[in-house]
Structure 1
Amino acid sequence: MAAITAKETRRGERRANSQYESERLNCTTIEQALGDALAAHGTTGLAIRADGDIHRFDSADKPGGNRNGWYVCPSLEVAVFGFWHTGEQHTVTTGGKSDPAAAAEARLAYQRAREQREAERRAQQAKTAEQARRWWATAGAADPSHPYLVTKRLAPYGLRQRDTMLLVPLFYDGELVNLERIYPDGAKKALFGGRAKGVAGLIGHLANAERVLIAEGWATAAALHEAMGVPVVVARNADNLEPVSRRLRQRLPDNVAITLAADDDRFTEGNPGITKARLAALTIGAKVLMPTFCADCSRCTDFADVALCRKERGL
């Protein structure tokens, strides 16, 4: 069997609708050709079905149940597969040079797969938003003695509680669409399948505010709100800083100052906290606020850490 001739796409650098790559394999059936191509990408054991339908599977580089991989065989000579989280897609044929008809089949197959995925994603997001609103409506007030709050020495600003989970409300266009769960040990996890990009929480009130901060995590936002008395938007993570910043800038009057309160991931290669905070600030013309650590500190990385450290030291 001939070797796969496709040039590997660097992860995340190619858009999903970019040009197609062909993997021409000298195989008897399209099922065999596709199975061999998938095996080269770490996926084995699939019962390939050349039925024209779109099939999902787990990509090998993600936890089980991710369903990030997909394939479709629009004919008995052509198959297309890809991975949603990397944006890559590949065309496989049973042998010989891929002709224009096969390329057209591949493009149509990919378009169908993308449309189906978008429909599934929207349906799941709507289902998760309904769950979030139901949980939020039935949750009680957060217990100030919750282990996470005690550890952080913070009041439960804007939180509710379900069983042992603290709930952080996450909004998009003014609607509650997801919840972040904070467990007693500090583990954090949003509801499965909910909207993630651009969602945000809020501590304080935006009405009549002259200055608004944007931070990553709830604890950092709570520590900043406690210390400065200004509203703080919770973006959840560094990757979400830019989309949240854009939406907030569009919503607020021009005279309201926005400041990115960065995590200083000084022990992480590339320092994503500062790097992405600066990028978000540059995008909307905002300033960046960074934490200041004690001279001998080798632990703290964000404003919540600094606030706790100072409380422990009696400063």
Structure 2
Amino acid sequence: MNDFLNFARANGIIVPDTFTPGRWIRCSTESHPRKKNGSIKLADDGLVGWCQDYAAHVEPIMWRANDGAALAAPIDRAAIARRQLERRRALIEATLGARAFYAACAPLRDSHPYLAGKGLGVAGCLGLRVDTAGWLVVPMLYNDKILSVQRISPEGEKKFHFGATTKCAYYVIERQGAAVTVLVEGFATGLTIFQAVPNCRVIVAFNAGNLVEVATRMKRHGMGVVCADNDHETEKRIGRNPGLDGARAAAAVLGVGVAYPTCAGTDWNDYVMEQMELAVAGQSFSFSRKRSVTQIQAAAFADVKLKVMREAKLMRVN
């Protein structure tokens, strides 16, 4: 086990004090030491393991024990079966807990501080709810059934329901008669694209590593495009851009293009907000007629639409 833990540390994982083989464990990382932005898993037999820093790796990195370790490792089949059964029970309990939590939340009636802070309206927010603490609750679906929920605080902190899986989960921002399907990483990005591109429907995958999982399983018809996060600051630190890497892998599955923002921030909402700030600041030095905030946002949305539609292509059939 020590060899595996050293492997995880070498890949930027801050290994927790307690560790149980056979299940994924959320961990902090060197890139995000204050968040559980990574995970590790060691197989029950101790011969294979995986680790992933979500800011650095599009998918988990595999570790294998050497031959000597394999010969020395006793395998308790009964113990493995018990742990697997316990994990299945825990996952079912967590999934049912997420569904019960969502059912107990109040429907989103008006705007929410998180949406207002992002300059977004409620168009496309069907199915969103608000919990008793005032957090926005986004259902995470698979085959139209809730697997988990994402909670978003008014300040933008995000949490998934503890113990429930997020793999393959998505949230669809539907539009009747949509001509283009847009796959995105985060909810704010998805809502921004939905409100900027009038003829699109949006599928939110919630993280870069999940983009390929969702792309592989989604129904494909008509035009499509992947709108990526541009993790340029992460790329400077580690030499990789997780948002772009995940988006390009998903785009290869769908046979479509990738649209990504070039701005100080990382996603398309950051891009719109920055363009609006520049436009508002620019009007201070102009003698021409001043535009309203709504007009400035419309211009920023038109720019986003142009950049997104340039990358839209007919999706590859499943």
Q: TM-score range by the shorter chain?
A: 0.5 to 0.7
Structure 2, unmatched stretches of 5+, are 30-35, 52-60, 281-295, 297-318
**CA positional deviation for 1:185:** 1.5
Name the counterpart of 1:27: none
SS in 2 for 1:267: helix
Name the counterpart of 2:231: 265
Q: Give the residue type in structure 1 aligned to 2:118.
A: K
SS in 2 for 1:209: coil
**CA positional deviation for 1:55:** 9.6
CA distance in 2, matches of 1:128, 1:258: 33
Q: Tell me, yes or no, if the aligned pair for 1:170 and 1:180 is still in contact at 8 Å.
A: yes
Q: Give the residue type in structure 2 aligned to 1:287.
A: G
Q: How does 1:111-126 map to 2 (within 5 A)?
A: 115-126=81-92
CA distance in 1, matches of 2:108, 2:4: 53
Number of aligned positions between the proteins: 250
CA offset digits 1:187-231 (Å, max 9, x no partner): 1011011111111111124x6433110111100000000011211
Structure 1, unmatched stretches of 5+, are 14-40, 47-53, 73-79, 294-298
Q: How does 1:1-315 map to 2 (within 5 A)?
A: 10-11=7-8, 85=51, 88=63, 103=71, 106=74, 108-109=75-76, 115-142=81-108, 144-156=110-122, 157-158=125-126, 159-163=128-132, 164-205=134-175, 208-229=177-198, 230-248=200-218, 251-253=219-221, 256-269=222-235, 270-293=240-263, 299-312=264-277, 313-314=279-280, 315=296
Evaluate the alpha carbon distance shift between residue 286 and residue 127 of structure 1 in structure 2; reply closer, same or farther with a 3 A threshold.
same
Q: Which has the higher contact order (CA 8 A, sep 6+)?
A: 2
Evaluate the alpha carbon distance shift between residue 285 and residue 5 of structure 1 in structure 2; reply closer, same or farther with a 3 A threshold.
closer
TM-score by length of 1: 0.65
Evaluate the alpha carbon distance shift between residue 112 and residue 84 of structure 1 in structure 2; reply closer, same or farther with a 3 A threshold.
farther
CA distance in 2, matches of 1:241, 1:131: 25
TM-score by length of 2: 0.64
Evaluate the alpha carbon distance shift between residue 284 and residue 138 of structure 1 in structure 2; reply closer, same or farther with a 3 A threshold.
same
Q: Give the residue type in structure 2 aligned to 1:265.
A: D
CA distance in 2, matches of 1:104, 1:197: 34
SS in 2 for 1:246: helix
Name the counterpart of 1:18: none
Percent identical among aligned pairs is 28
Q: Give the residue type in structure 2 aligned to 1:244.
A: V
